[in-house]
Chains A and B, each alone.
Chain A
Amino acid sequence: MIRAGFGRPSDPPAALLVAGVRVVDPSTATDAVADLGVADGHIVQASDVPADAPRIDGRGLVAAPGFCDLGPHLGDADDPAAETIESGARAAAHGGYTTVAAAAAVAPDLACRVLSIGPAAGDGVVALTATGVATDVLARQACEADLPLIVRPDDAGGVVRAGPTAVRLGLPGWPPEIELENVGQLIALARRTGARIHVAHVSTAAAAEAVRTARAEGVRVTADVTPHHLALPDTWVAGDRRFAWQEPGPADPALAYDGSSRVSPPLATREDAAALAAAVEDGTVDAIATDHAPRPPERTIVPFDQAAGGIAGLETALSIGLAAVQAGVLSLTTLVRALSTGPAGIIGQWRGLAIGSVADLVVFDPNARWRVTPTALASRARNTPLLGMELPGVVRLTIADGRVTYRA
């Protein structure tokens, strides 16, 4: 159960002290134990926190800039009952997110700041979006508006990655070469137009390498990966529940063909997952983006090839990342960067914990463990193959734009 409190922007500004917390702030390359003070919604010296403000024992906890997600689906367009913008925003706050960039009608008073993205520039729009391929016209519009162009993969992405798992399960295989072709076109577009193009949800080593090479040549291209492409290999569709960095083992037939393990692009191989983690670590990939896609049960508890793709991921991204950190696949500072300053920077948002900044932060216990159950999730959606698993990483406090939005 979430014994929680969710806050709103209309609440009074936060004032509290987190004592002896490990502060990880990529904006200043800080990783040190300190007392973190917040007063009147701003980061202050510990001595400037009012004496009657709550004091949190921060020992064993990590404080980081608030997380930012690029392009989560806050509702199921086909079924609003699967998620409302209210429940989606609470899921975000519960996951440590203070900001999401989403194509959603923005309600004013949510547990999470929602920045607008869409197909056209306009008031408050922080990025243009396209699916599959993007045109020169759109890229030039992005240039003129000085906005990034976020290009999501096409949803016609096959059922499962082509390879031994697809053959064994008798499912249509998605050829990974498609992604390299698409990313190659996007890089050429960025080169040709000068637009800042963000490639969403890279899932292959080859595409990550293409981005690495293009960036080295000065092309303005950025990329993100999802937590599930980093951590859940395609054998999850067969019922395996070991992370990509663990030794593969026998699949559990009771978990095979789970519709909630269908995503677009399909889950990656172990080798690609390792290459994606390396790309996050070396900065080729700037961000981890959840691709949060809430679905109602009637669209996931169906034969696998009929399942609506997507994973509800806002509340498990940090935990998957911390599992990778504990396995030595990512460093904690890389994880924090990929969840906070990395994605925020792409949409022109500054993030940091320097004295005087507006408080926009998350405090989490990296070692506490929790079990992913429907009642442990603030999202209405339950479509995640992590259901039933125990994961590390519990968010204790989220402060967005100076207000407490989640407090455990």
Chain B
Amino acid sequence: MTLAAPVRTWAHRHMLDVDILSRPDIERILELSEAMRMSRETREHRSLLDLETVALCFYEPSTRTRVSFELAAKALGATVVDLAVERSSAGKGESLVDTLRTLRRVGATIAVLRHPSSGAPYLAARETDLSIVNGGDGTHAHPTQALLDAATLREALGTLSGKTIAIVGDVAHSRVARSNAHLLPKLGARVRVGGPAAWVAGFDDWPDVEVATTLADALDGADAVMALRVQSERGAVSGAGTLAEYIRDWRLDDERMELAAPGAPVLHPGPTNEGVELTHDLANGLRSLIGRQVEHGVAVRMAVLALVAGVA
């Protein structure tokens, strides 16, 4: 008698943030992402989502997240519609919920939502029948970015267990930092956030996260360093001195990276402001994993789309 392989169910219809994921959930996403990445050439998964219509709803400008979700959905055979917010009814004052309900009625089953308001994907999940994937909400969360960061870090470091990951910059206004602060400790890493005092305020209370207010303290012995985008479009330079002061005290370069563990790699969620968060040479040098992050981004988003659709 042969036993059927156990059916692996996925409990989450939405991907709103990584905070509610268990370690086995995260391992499963990363495993599937790796399988997706290895098989992109053979197009083994090309019809996995052929019954799904993925709506890309980006209420904030985005290149890499939007394009990588689009490529991920298409690589799995989904129909993709791109809600061009500035050309749609959403740009005429239609409410978010009404726009999403309309997309559902015309056949969309999954919506990837990026929105300037923290929590908008939670509203969308509550008020519509769509499966919602958070593509970044306000200063709250960016779950697929954290997952691709974890995939990139694992590839570079082997394991995250016992490793110290420094996240440097405007932590207070960063959804990337928040999702990583949830995710990386679940994989055994120590997370240290560093930046001017106003940019790390309040993170003392975040479970499993250390706070540093000088670059030397932030980088000390770190096994990898993640630079955050200085979000001047969200008014973030305020409260933390001038841009020149930030560059003087916090910009990463090859010399300053010597404060970290030997050979520690550098990551950045992009788009980089070269010369502000890090130097051109560091961003394009041997330590840089920025290109690997982008490559993992498509695979991780393939995995997430397949899981929320219930087909993997």
Contacts and interface: CB of A to CB of B under 8 A. Distances in A.
Nearest to B120: A303
A120 interface: no
Q: Chain A at the B interface: mostly helix, strand, loop or mixed?
A: helix
B143 to A, nearest CB: 12
B299 interface: no
B202 A303 contact: no
Contact of A302 (B95, B138, B175, B203): B95
Contacts of B141: 170
Contacts of B140: 169-171
The interface centre, meaning the residue of B16, B118, B126 with most chain A CB atoms within 10 A of its CB, is B118
Interface in B110-168: 115, 117-120, 122-123, 125-127, 137-141
Contacts, number: 75
A303 B178 contact: no
B97 A167 contact: no
A103 B262 CA distance: 69
A169 B175 CA distance: 10
Contacts of B17: 253
B255 interface: no
Contacts of B97: 301-302
B96 interface: yes
B206 A303 contact: no
B247 interface: no
Contact of A171 (B118, B127, B203, B206): B118
Interface string A229-267: 000000000000000000000000111111100000000
Interface string A29-70: 000000000000000000000000000000000000000000
Contact of B202 (A167, A253, A259, A302): A167
B115 to A, nearest CB: 7
Contacts of A166: 202
Given A253-B20, A303-B115, A168 B138 contact: no
Given A301-B97, A301-B127, A168 B206 contact: yes
27 contacts: A163-B202, A167-B172, A167-B203, A167-B206, A170-B118, A170-B137, A170-B175, A171-B118, A173-B202, A253-B17, A253-B122, A254-B125, A254-B126, A256-B119, A256-B122, A257-B120, A257-B122, A257-B123, A258-B126, A302-B95, A302-B96, A302-B123, A303-B96, A303-B115, A305-B117, A305-B119, A306-B117
Interface of A: 162-164, 166-171, 173, 253-259, 298, 301-306
